[in-house]
Amino acid sequence: MSGKSKLLKVVLLGDGGVGKSSLMNRFVSNKFDAQSFHTIGVEFLNKDVSVDDETYTMQIWDTAGQERFKSLRTPFYRGADCCLLTFAVDNLQSFRNLSMWRKEFLYYADIQDGVNFPFVVLGNKIDVEGRQVTSEEARSWCAQAGNAPYFETSAKDATNVDMAFLAAVRRLREVEDQMDVRPAHGNTVDLSKAAKSKSSCC
């Protein structure tokens, strides 16, 4: 791939054990380790991709989901271009914690406009029996969280893994396109008022 690809920082978040490292390894190296160890802090891997004729280097940051590693992972959220919020469909608590993960990300990444940030949600381990979260429940959570795209994945058998990561790039492009066409109310300077205030000043 040419040296012109854009670098995208993608952060993977979710409870410990939901399969974040396994998803990253499946996507980047097409490998799966049934004995995957918990991540300590963060790790990252790069993968070059092509989406709608544009090339990108996805820099995927895999974070440690366990609570005790919070202070090690949060400094890495700043500058993220997209965030993959991950839970395991056989673990209800990991689904309930999605709101907490979204909030933690927005706070430490210092992002005010969460609705317009490109999140993608992954319900992983769909190959496992004993599902505790339905697709409808997951979709309805995504709808109220800025309409984040939702994918049901299996890092084990590779179901939808590529699609979910590439969706993060597409979501980012969509959000950027929306921002481009939206009038910039917050930054608009009313020149007539500016002129008035200047004339009344000292």
Ligand X SMILES: Nc1nc2c(ncn2[C@@H]2O[C@H](COP(=O)(O)OP(=O)(O)OP(=O)(O)O)[C@@H](O)[C@H]2O)c(=O)[nH]1
Describe the chain by its helix, strand, coil percentages, rounded to 5: 40, 20, 35
In the complex, the smallest distance separating the C-beta of residue 73 from ligand X, rounded to whole angstroms, is 9
Q: How far apart are CA 157 and CA 127, in angstroms?
A: 7
In the complex, the smallest distance separating the C-beta of residue 54 from ligand X, rounded to whole angstroms, is 29
CA atoms in the 13 A half-sphere facing the CB of 161 = 25
Beta bridge partners of 9: 59
**Cβ-based nearer residue to ligand X, 16 or 114:** 16
In the complex, the smallest distance separating the C-beta of residue 164 from ligand X, rounded to whole angstroms, is 12
In the complex, the smallest distance separating the C-beta of residue 171 from ligand X, rounded to whole angstroms, is 21
**Cβ-based nearer residue to ligand X, 9 or 20:** 20
**Cβ-based nearer residue to ligand X, 97 or 154:** 154
Q: What residues contact residue 1 under an 8 Å CB cut-off, 6+ apart?
A: 48, 50, 55
**Cβ-based nearer residue to ligand X, 84 or 167:** 84
**Cβ-based nearer residue to ligand X, 86 or 175:** 86
In the complex, the smallest distance separating the C-beta of residue 153 from ligand X, rounded to whole angstroms, is 7
How many whole angstroms from its chain centre is CA 3? 25
Q: How far apart are CA 132 and CA 148, in angstroms?
A: 21
Q: Which residues bind ligand X (CB under 6 A)?
A: 14, 16-22, 33-34, 36, 38-39, 64-66, 124-125, 127-128, 154-156
